[in-house]
Amino acid sequence: MKDILNARERLEKCLSGEKTDRPPVALWRHFPVDDQTPDGLASAVAAFQNTYSFDFIKVTPASSFAVKDWGCQDSWKGNPEGTREISYFPIKQADDWAALKPLEPKSGSLGGQIECLKLLTREFSPRIPVIQTIFSPLSQAKNLVGKENLLVHLRTYPDALHSALRTITRTTIDFIQECKRTGIDGIFYAVQHANYGLLAVDEFNIFGKAYDLQILAMVQDLWLNIGHIHGDHIMFDQVVDYPLQILNWHDRHTPPSLAEGLQKFGGAVCGGVRQWETLVLGDQAMVQSEALDAIRQTNGNRFILGTGCVVPITAPAGNIAAARRAVNQIQ
């Protein structure tokens, strides 16, 4: 009979390629309205964790949290993913990028997120690992100027954008240093532009990867860093060498498969269950079937059961519970 491990032990063995009592599992979601205060978000995240007992806690603030102090404004419009809609982009023209100055990570929106992390690590660490969501500098720039305008500025005003990306990178690094002081175990690093439908490979390497690697160099003292490659048609090969312990992507919708990703990446892979078709519109049998298929693909080694991105807030509780139960069937 296998020894029953705690979440931290299970993840440590998973990352080292050792046999575990069962594959780790973690799902995460947005908490609209609750995410507007540190204690509101912390309470919602804690309740979600206490309901499902996942192997790590991925803290998911509103995606605007990192740029609100630069003037970004958003509002809750009922998106079923739980995301807020940006209603005001502070960057209107290329000259506006120069107005960005490094932010103080202990005040404003960033400071509020630090307070949220303190609450969560106080409650769960070291029993349950806690990781903080960090958006890449290019993703933050998108939230400052708008998705389509970002590509225009990238190709038309590259020097202005580079200047802003340096400021965003500096602020992000300062924020991560404060996050570390709360006792987090790692970061969830969201890369949204490693995508052939958005950028050429050279564009991504110059405006994305170059800054990503600066940030990731600052988290090498943390043990549970996850990279998320967002969207379809992803540039997996451009991200596979990032110094991370885990990679997560929409494996059911875009190559590579989990099995193929595991061959290319030296760490662990996370995924296996579709967000919409299965967790929202499917039933518990579908959830179980996809979970077991993902485990078969990877032989349950260096594998964490999850989904390609956030769990939509419309996902039935029974389907989420089914994903959590699926890993218990592995003997």
Give the SS3 label for residue 226.
strand
Question: Per-residue pLDDT averaged across 313-331, rounded?
Answer: 92
Model pTM above 0.85: yes
Residue 4: the pLDDT is 80
**Does some domain include residue 182?**
yes
Q: What percent of the chain has pLDDT over 70?
A: 98
pLDDT at residue 213, rounded to an integer = 98
Instruction: Flag whether 304 is in a domain.
Output: yes
Mean pLDDT of 237-253: 98
CATH number (domain holding residue 315): 3.20.20.210
- In this structure, how many other beta carbons lie within 10 angstroms of the beta carbon of residue 258? 22
Tell me: pLDDT of 2 over 70.
no
Do residues 66 and 135 make contact, with C-beta atoms less than 8 angstroms apart? yes
Beta bridge partner(s), residue 249: 229
pLDDT for 329 equals 80
Q: Report DSSP letters for 74-124, one per residue.
A: EE----TT-PPEEEE-S--SGGGGGG--PPPTTSHHHHHHHHHHHHHHHHH
- pLDDT tens digits for 21-80? 999 999 999 999 999 999 999 999 999 999 999 999 999 999 999 999 999 999 999 999
Residue 1 lies in a domain: no
Predicted pLDDT of residue 217: 98
Q: How far is CA 145 from CA 133, 236, 244, in A?
A: 21, 26, 29
Kindly give, in sequence order, each residue whose CB lies less than 8 Å from that of residue 276, ignoring residues fewer than 6 positions away.
312
Residue 173 lies in a domain: yes
Q: Looking at the predicted structure, is the pLDDT value of residue 330 above 70?
A: no
84 falls within a domain = yes
Question: For residues 290 and 273, what is the distance between their CA atoms, to the nearest angstrom?
Answer: 6
Q: What is the mean pLDDT of residues 251-272?
A: 98
* Long-range pairs, 9-12, Cβ under 8 A, ≥24: 10/55, 11/55, 11/56, 11/129, 11/224, 11/304, 12/223
Residue-level pLDDT at 1: 39
Cα 183 to Cα 14, 168, 274, 294, distances in angstroms:
21, 23, 31, 32
Residue 2, domain member (yes or no) = no
**How confident is the model over 197-224, as a mean pLDDT?**
98
Tally of structural domains, the chain: 1
SS3 319: helix
Q: For residues 155 and 82, is the Cβ–Cβ distance under 8 A?
A: no
> Buried (b) or exposed (e) across 239-252, using 16+ Cβ within 10 A?
bbebebbbbbbbbb
For the residues 71-91, what does the mean pLDDT come to? 98
Confidence of residue 331 (pLDDT cuts 50, 70, 90): low
Mean pLDDT of the chain: 97
Mean pLDDT, rounded, for 104-126: 97
- What mean pLDDT comes out for the span 174-178? 98
Instruction: Determine the structural domain holding residue 116 and report its residue range.
Output: 7-329
% of the chain exceeding 90 in pLDDT: 98
Kindly tell me if the per-residue pLDDT of 142 is higher than 80: yes
Spatial separation of the C-alpha atoms in residues 305 and 282, rounded to whole Å: 17
Whether the per-residue pLDDT at 92 is higher than 60: the answer is: yes
